[in-house]
Chain A
Amino acid sequence: MTVYATYNIKGGVGKTAAAVNLAYLSARDGHRTLLWDLDPQSAATYYFRIKPKVKGGGRKLVRGKSDLARRIRATDFEGLDLLPADFSYRNLDLYLDDQKKPERRLSRLLKPLRKEYDYIFLDCPPSISLVSESVFQAADALLVPMIPTTLSLRTSEQLRSHLLQGGPRRRLRIYPFFCQVDRRKNLHKSICAAGSEMAYPALETVIPSSTVVEQMGVRRKPVLEFAARSQAADAFRQLWKEVQSRS
C-alpha cells in the first residue's frame, strides 16, 4: 500500500481536484483505491455525491473507537472508495492532541486498511497543525499543488524548514507541482521554468488553469469522467504517470 497526501499550507490551490482525479485514475488502472477526505469543508466528498457525515464524528474516529473500515463508502466508480469528511474534522487537531503520540495516530488508523487497498489518497485541509504532522507520518509522498506565484514559492520554503525542524525523519518524498497555470502570463512561465531549482524540485507536469476543473463542482464528477479529452484531463493523466514513475 502506498499513501499519497495532497497538501499545501495555502488553501484553494487545487489539492482536492488533484486528489479526486488521481484517485480516480488509480482506480481505473485496476488498483484498489481509497480517498480519505480530511478537510472539514468536504469538497472531495461533495464531488462524489456522498453525504459528508461520519457516524460518531472525528473524535471517535481518532480515538479508534469507531471502526474506520465501516465508515468507508463506495463511490460510483469501480475500485474507488471514499472515507467521507465530517464537519467535526475542524476539531481534528484537538482530538489528536488528546492522544498519546498524536503524530503517529493517522498511520496507526490506516494500518488495518493496508491489505485492502493498493493506494490511499489523503486530501488534507490547508494549515500546519497536528493534522498535517500526522499526515506527514502516514504518507509515503506529499503531492504539493502550487499556483506559480512568488508567495507560493515562499510556502515551499516554509514547508521545507518545517519538515527539517523535527530533526531526521523517515523518508517522506515531496513532489510539488504547478497548477492553475496560465501560459499567457509571463510570471507563471518564468516561475514554472525555475521549478526545478526550488527547495523541492517540482514535477514536470503542469496542470493548466481550466474551466473544466472548475466545472467539477457543477458536474460533481472527476474531470476525467465528463471531459476526458480536455487539456486538464491530459494533464492529470500525465501527472499520475509521473507520480507513479517517481515512486
Chain B
Amino acid sequence: MRSGTARIYLCSSREPLDRLKKKFAIRKEVQPPERWTLYDSFDWRLFHAALTLRARRENSSWLLQLRNTNGLVHRLTLPRMRAFAREFPQGALRRRLEAELDVRRLLPRLRLHSTRERLRVVDGRRKTVCRLQWSRARAARAGTRQSRQLSARLRVEPLRGYGKPFQELTRFLENELGLQPEPRPLLEEALQAAGLDPQAYSSKVRVTLEPDLRADEAARCIHRQLLANIEANLEGLVADLDPEFLHDFRVAVRRTRSALAQIKGVFARPSLRRFRREFSWLGRVTGPVRDLDVYLLNLPGYRKDLPPDTRPGLAPLAEHLQRLKRDEHRKMVAALGSARYRRLIRGWKAFLSRPAPGRTTLPNAARPIREVASERIWRAYRKVIDRGRSIDVRTAPEKLHRLRIDCKKLRYLLEFFRSLYPANEVDRLVSALKKLQDNLGDYNDYVVQQATLESIAAEGDDSHRLPAETLLSVGRLLERLARKQQGERNRFSKRFAVFSNRENSATFSNLFESR
C-alpha cells in the first residue's frame, strides 16, 4: 500500500481552502468530531517504542488503534477497555502490547478532541486523486478538564498511482498560498500542550556529574534524583495500579541506602545515621507486598512447570496469596501515610537542598567526586573478586547471598558514576556484571521462594487452611524449585570466571585503580 508520505501544513484559517476550491475540483465530506484517548504506561513504554495506542468510544464499544510512525498497525473493537496487555483477546495486537508493556498497566494519558473537514480532489472521471484533511484539535491531560488548542493543520495525502496531482497541489499550496510545512508531529505538540513529558521519568539513574565537583555535592545530586523517583511512584503503588510502581519505588530506596553507605565520608554522622535508619525502615515496610507481588507474577510460570493433573491445586494458593497481599498492602499504605514517612521525606528534602558547608572536617566531602568514585568502585570490585574466588562447590548458600549483595553495591556505584567515565566501557562492565547478578539473583530467588512456600504451606490457621491437593501441588513445586536452584548453583563458577576474566579486570584496573 505504498503511497508516499503525507505532507502537513500549518493552516489556521479557511481562506486557503476557499482559494484551493477555485483552482481544483474538490468534493467535501463532513466528518463528525472525534474524541480519542491516548493510552500508555506510567513510564511511556509504547511511546518509547514509537507506538501510540488510542481508543475511542463508538456506540457501546471501544475502538482501538495501535499506530507507529508509518500509520495504523493493528485495530480492534472491544466491548470495554482493558488495563493490562494480558487481558486483551489473543492475537497480534496482544502479542505486541505484551512485548512492550509486560506487566505495566495502560493508563489514559492524553485526550484529543478534533474537528475535521475532509476534502477530495477529483479528476474528470470524478475519481479521487488526492485527499486533504483540515483539522483543528484540542488536547488535555487525561483526567483534567483544561484543554489547550493545538495548531490547525492541513494534511495532504497522496494516493498511490496519482503522484502528479499531489505534486501539483502541494506546489500550489506552498508557492501560491504560502503555507508552511509543519514538521512537528501532532502528538508532540499535544503532549507539550498537556504538560506531559515522556522523557521525564526513568527508573534508571541519570545524573551527569563533573569530575571535579565536590563529592558531597555530587552525592546530593544523585540523591535528589533518587528522591524524585521515590515520590513519582508513590501514588501508583498506593493505588496498586501495577507491580512496577512498588518495584521502582523500592529500587530507588535501595539505591538511596546504598549511596548513603557506599559514598563514605561526605555527610555528617548524625544525619547519616538518621537517614540510613529511616530508609531501612522504608525498605522493610514495603518488602512483604513486593514478595507477594513476585509470587503472584511467578504463579503462571509455576503452573506451566507442574504436571497438568496437579495444576488445579494451585488455584487456592493464588487466592490465598491475593488475600495476604491485600492485608499487607493495607499495612504498607498506612506506613506510607504516617507522620514518620512525611517527616522522613520532608527532612531528606531539606537536607538535600542545604548548600555544602564551606569548611568541613569530613574526609571526602570536599574532594573531587571522580577521585572518591574511583576509590569506592575499586574497593567494591576487589570485594566481589575476593569473595567470588573463595567460593567453590562446598560453600554455604549464605556466602553466595553475601556475594550477591556485594555485586549489587558495585552495580549501583557503576551506575551512579557512569557519567565520569567513558560510557561504552562502563556499560560493558555493567553488562558483564549483570550476567553474574542474574545467576546469583535467580539462585537466591529459588532459595527464598522455597522458604516462603514452605512457611505458607505450614501456617494457615483453621479458617484459611489450604486444601490437601494444594499442599500436594506445593510439594511438587518445591521439588522443581530445588532442582532449578541447583542448576543455577552449577552455572555459578562459569559465570564468575567470565566476569573476572583478564579483559574485564584490566578495564576495572585502568578505569578505577589509583596509581
Assess whether A117 is interfacial by the CB under 8 Å rule.
Answer: yes
The residue of chain B having its C-beta at the shortest distance from the C-beta of A76 within the complex is: B128
CB within 8 Å for A71 and B127 given contacts A79-B1, A81-B1, A116-B1 = no
CB within 8 Å for A51 and B125 given contacts A74-B3, A81-B1 = yes
Is B161 a contact partner of A73 (Cβ separation < 8 A)? yes
B223 to chain A, nearest CB (A): 51
A235 to chain B, nearest CB (A): 24
Is B126 a contact partner of A72 (Cβ separation < 8 A)? no
Is B161 a contact partner of A30 (Cβ separation < 8 A)? no
Assess whether B342 is interfacial by the CB under 8 Å rule.
Answer: no
The residue of chain A having its C-beta at the shortest distance from the C-beta of B1 within the complex is: A32
A121 to chain B, nearest CB (A): 15
The residue of chain B having its C-beta at the shortest distance from the C-beta of A84 within the complex is: B161
B216 to chain A, nearest CB (A): 59
Is A50 a contact partner of B1 (Cβ separation < 8 A)? no
In chain B, positions 68-84 with a C-beta closer than 8 Å to chain A are 72, 75
A51 CA to B125 CA in the complex, in Å? Answer: 8
The residue of chain A having its C-beta at the shortest distance from the C-beta of B158 within the complex is: A74
Is B127 a contact partner of A48 (Cβ separation < 8 A)? yes
Assess whether A198 is interfacial by the CB under 8 Å rule.
Answer: no
Is B1 a contact partner of A71 (Cβ separation < 8 A)? no
- Interfacial chain A residues near B126, Cβ < 8 Å: 49, 220
CB within 8 Å for A81 and B160 given contacts A69-B2, A117-B1 = yes
- Interfacial chain B residues near A116, Cβ < 8 Å: 1-2
Q: A50 is contacted by which of B3, B75, B127 (Cβ under 8 Å)? A: B127
Is B161 a contact partner of A49 (Cβ separation < 8 A)? no
Is B1 a contact partner of A76 (Cβ separation < 8 A)? no
- Interfacial chain B residues near A69, Cβ < 8 Å: 2
The residue of chain A having its C-beta at the shortest distance from the C-beta of B129 within the complex is: A74
Assess whether B474 is interfacial by the CB under 8 Å rule.
Answer: no
- Interfacial chain A residues near B127, Cβ < 8 Å: 48-50, 76
Is A73 a contact partner of B162 (Cβ separation < 8 A)? yes
- Interfacial chain B residues near A74, Cβ < 8 Å: 3, 128, 159-162
A11 CA to B125 CA in the complex, in Å? Answer: 26
B165 to chain A, nearest CB (A): 11
B78 to chain A, nearest CB (A): 15
A116 CA to B159 CA in the complex, in Å? Answer: 15
Categorize the interface residue count of chain A: 10 to 19
- Interfacial chain A residues near B162, Cβ < 8 Å: 73-74
- Interfacial chain B residues near A79, Cβ < 8 Å: 1
A151 CA to B75 CA in the complex, in Å? Answer: 45
A51 CA to B124 CA in the complex, in Å? Answer: 10
Per-residue A-contact encoding for B1-35, CB less than 8 Å = 1, 0 else? 11100000000000000000000000000000000
- Interfacial chain A residues near B120, Cβ < 8 Å: 76
CB within 8 Å for A72 and B75 given contacts A32-B1, A51-B125, A116-B2 = no
A78 to chain B, nearest CB (A): 9
Is the contact region of chain B dominated by helix, strand, or loop, or is it mixed?
loop
A129 CA to B2 CA in the complex, in Å? Answer: 33
A211 to chain B, nearest CB (A): 22
A50 CA to B75 CA in the complex, in Å? Answer: 29
Is B75 a contact partner of A30 (Cβ separation < 8 A)? yes
A218 to chain B, nearest CB (A): 13
A32 CA to B71 CA in the complex, in Å? Answer: 13
A81 CA to B128 CA in the complex, in Å? Answer: 12
Per-residue B-contact encoding for A27-55, CB less than 8 Å = 1, 0 else? 00010100000000000000011110000
B29 to chain A, nearest CB (A): 11
B118 to chain A, nearest CB (A): 11
- Interfacial chain A residues near B75, Cβ < 8 Å: 30
A73 CA to B162 CA in the complex, in Å? Answer: 7
A79 CA to B161 CA in the complex, in Å? Answer: 14
A83 to chain B, nearest CB (A): 9
- Interfacial chain A residues near B72, Cβ < 8 Å: 30
In chain B, positions 93-126 with a C-beta closer than 8 Å to chain A are 120, 125-126
- Interfacial chain A residues near B159, Cβ < 8 Å: 73-74
In chain A, positions 114-155 with a C-beta closer than 8 Å to chain B are 116-117
A44 CA to B165 CA in the complex, in Å? Answer: 23
A150 to chain B, nearest CB (A): 40
- Interfacial chain A residues near B160, Cβ < 8 Å: 72-74, 81
A138 CA to B50 CA in the complex, in Å? Answer: 37
A51 CA to B1 CA in the complex, in Å? Answer: 19
The residue of chain B having its C-beta at the shortest distance from the C-beta of A81 within the complex is: B160
- Interfacial chain B residues near A71, Cβ < 8 Å: 161
A118 to chain B, nearest CB (A): 10
In chain A, positions 50-109 with a C-beta closer than 8 Å to chain B are 50-51, 69-74, 76, 79, 81
The residue in B72, B128, B162 that gathers the most chain A C-beta atoms within 10 A of its C-beta is B128
In chain A, positions 2-46 with a C-beta closer than 8 Å to chain B are 30, 32
A111 CA to B98 CA in the complex, in Å? Answer: 32
A73 CA to B161 CA in the complex, in Å? Answer: 4
In chain B, positions 159-215 with a C-beta closer than 8 Å to chain A are 159-162
The residue of chain B having its C-beta at the shortest distance from the C-beta of A79 within the complex is: B1
The residue of chain A having its C-beta at the shortest distance from the C-beta of B72 within the complex is: A30
- Interfacial chain A residues near B125, Cβ < 8 Å: 49-51
A47 CA to B440 CA in the complex, in Å? Answer: 68
B149 to chain A, nearest CB (A): 28
A168 to chain B, nearest CB (A): 35
A69 CA to B3 CA in the complex, in Å? Answer: 11
A49 CA to B120 CA in the complex, in Å? Answer: 14
- Interfacial chain B residues near A50, Cβ < 8 Å: 125, 127
- Interfacial chain A residues near B161, Cβ < 8 Å: 70-74, 81
Per-residue A-contact encoding for B117-143, CB less than 8 Å = 1, 0 else? 000100001111000000000000000
The residue of chain A having its C-beta at the shortest distance from the C-beta of B159 within the complex is: A74
A193 to chain B, nearest CB (A): 37
- Interfacial chain B residues near A49, Cβ < 8 Å: 125-127
Jot down 24 A-B pairs with beta carbons below 8 A, ordered by A: A30-B72, A48-B127, A49-B126, A51-B125, A70-B161, A71-B161, A72-B161, A73-B159, A73-B160, A73-B162, A74-B3, A74-B128, A74-B159, A74-B160, A74-B161, A74-B162, A76-B120, A76-B127, A76-B128, A79-B1, A81-B1, A81-B161, A116-B2, A220-B126
6 pairs of A and B residues whose beta carbons are closest in the complex: A73-B161, A49-B127, A74-B159, A74-B160, A49-B125, A76-B128
- Residue positions of B touching A, CB distance < 8 A: 1-3, 72, 75, 120, 125-128, 159-162
Further 6 A-B residue pairs, CB within 8 A, beyond A48-B127, A73-B162, A76-B120: A32-B1, A49-B126, A50-B125, A73-B160, A76-B127, A220-B126
